[in-house]
Amino acid sequence: MRYFIEIAYNGTHYFGWQIQPNAITVQEVLEGAMSSLLRNQIKLVAAGRTDAGVHAKQLFAHFDFEEIKDLDHLVFRLNAFLPKDISVKRIVSVKDDAHARFHATEREYEYVISLKKDPFFEGFTYLLHQKPNVDAMNVAAETLLHYQDFQCFSRTNTDVKTYHCTIHKAYWRVEEDRLIFTISANRFLRNMVRAIVGTLLNVGYAKTSLEEFHAIIASKNRVNAGSSAPANGLYLTKVLYPEELFTA
CA neighbours within 13 Å on the CB side: how many for 215?
Answer: 8
Catalytic (active-site) positions = 51
Measured between its terminal Cα atoms, the distance across the chain in Å is 9
- Asked if 71 and 37 touch (Cβ cutoff 8 Å), the reply is no
103, 119, 126, 180, 206 from 113: Cα distances, Å = 31, 14, 5, 6, 18
Report helix, strand or coil for 214.
helix
Report the sign of the C-alpha dihedral through residues 46, 89, 74, 95, in that order. Answer: negative
DSSP string, 106-148: EEEEEEEEESS--TTTTTTSEE-SS---HHHHHHHHHHGGG--
* Phi, psi (rounded to 5 degrees) for 23: -155, 140
152: enclosing H helix or E strand: none
